[in-house]
């Protein structure tokens, strides 16, 4: 049995929150640079250039990439042979978020009740997803997500007869409806299958898959590429000013579902697609 102290978890989460908000993943940065070189519409090219400048300023000055430092989603993979000692795992994660957002001077955006709207003043609680796996590995992915893009996400319970065309139409319509609101160029997370709650989680999980890593299933890999092409043909462009760079990637995650259902969820992320992975 491997033991992990809560103090280690707090420290790891604290650092991950700060770094995720300051430093864009390298593959997202490279994709933006690639799109900048390929973009032909002057306004779009200029905006992509400004986004690149912002990434560098945040890195050099150790500042947040965006003023909306988001609500923190956490994905935990914990081995069956891991024993957490000296406290509660959930409390340790939230304490790490609390310390990270305080020490990193990150905006606190979480309210303790969705209707009373009283700010918790430390950006907790995080939304935590647990996955129990064999062995003694322990991995955490910290993914802060702003609500300019989160608010543009949608879920639909399609009928099996709607098939692949229904899925494609829904994904493209969701991006079209979102327009400039999620600060394009965007990353589109798509969940297909499962249940009402599972499909939303799949779409969220799709956003923490590196852009350089395509779906392992050839059918869905091809669908990712087709949807990306169709989305970029919409002409929304960076910040909604036109051009051929509306999205940087489409990531699809799937799960088995019921014979009577075809759940689909689209979770949109802005170009600041932030996440930080830590293994203890």
Predicted pLDDT of residue 118: 97
pLDDT digits over 138-169, tens only? 999 999 999 999 999 999 999 999 999 999 99
Is the Cβ–Cβ distance between 168 and 176 less than 8 Å? no
Whether the pLDDT of residue 92 is over 90: the answer is yes
Q: What is the mean pLDDT of residues 43-56?
A: 96
Mean pLDDT of 67-90: 96
Query: Does the structure show a pLDDT above 90 at 1?
Result: no
Residue 36 pLDDT exceeds 90? yes
pTM given for the model: 0.94
User: Do residues 100 and 13 touch, judged by C-beta distance below 8 A?
Assistant: yes
Question: Strand pairing partners for 138?
Answer: 78
Label the pairing between strands 82-85 and 247-257. Answer: unpaired
């Amino acid at each position: 049995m491997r033991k992990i102290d809560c103090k280690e978890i707090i420290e790891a989460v604290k650092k991950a929150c700060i770094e995720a908000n300051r430093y864009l993943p390298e593959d997202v940065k490279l994709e933006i640079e690639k799109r900048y070189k390929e973009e032909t519409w002057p306004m779009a090219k200029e905006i992509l250039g400004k986004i690149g400048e912002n990434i560098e300023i945040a890195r050099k000055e150790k500042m947040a990439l965006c003023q909306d430092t988001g609500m923190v989603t956490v994905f935990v993979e914990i081995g069956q042979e891991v024993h957490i000692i000296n406290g509660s795992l959930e409390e340790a994660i939230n304490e790490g978020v609390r310390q990270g957002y305080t020490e990193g001077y990150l905006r606190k955006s979480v309210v303790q009740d969705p209707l009373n709207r009283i700010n918790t003043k430390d950006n907790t609680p995080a939304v935590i997803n647990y996955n129990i796996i064999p062995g003694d590995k322990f991995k955490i992915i910290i993914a802060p997500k702003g609500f300019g893009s989160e608010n543009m996400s949608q879920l639909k319970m399609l009928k099996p007869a709607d098939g692949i065309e229904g899925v494609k139409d829904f994904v493209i319509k969701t991006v079209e409806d979102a327009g400039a609101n999620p600060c394009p160029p965007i990353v589109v997370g798509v969940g297909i299958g499962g249940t009402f709650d599972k499909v939303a989680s799949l779409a969220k999980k799709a956003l923490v898959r590196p852009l350089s890593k395509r779906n392992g299933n050839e059918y869905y890999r091809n669908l990712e590429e087709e949807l990306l092409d169709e989305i970029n043909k919409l002409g929304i462009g960076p910040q909604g000013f036109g051009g051929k760079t509306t999205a940087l990637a489409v990531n699809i995650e799937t799960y088995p579902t019921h014979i009577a259902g075809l759940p689909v969820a689209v979770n949109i992320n802005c170009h600041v697609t932030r996440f930080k992975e830590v293994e203890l």
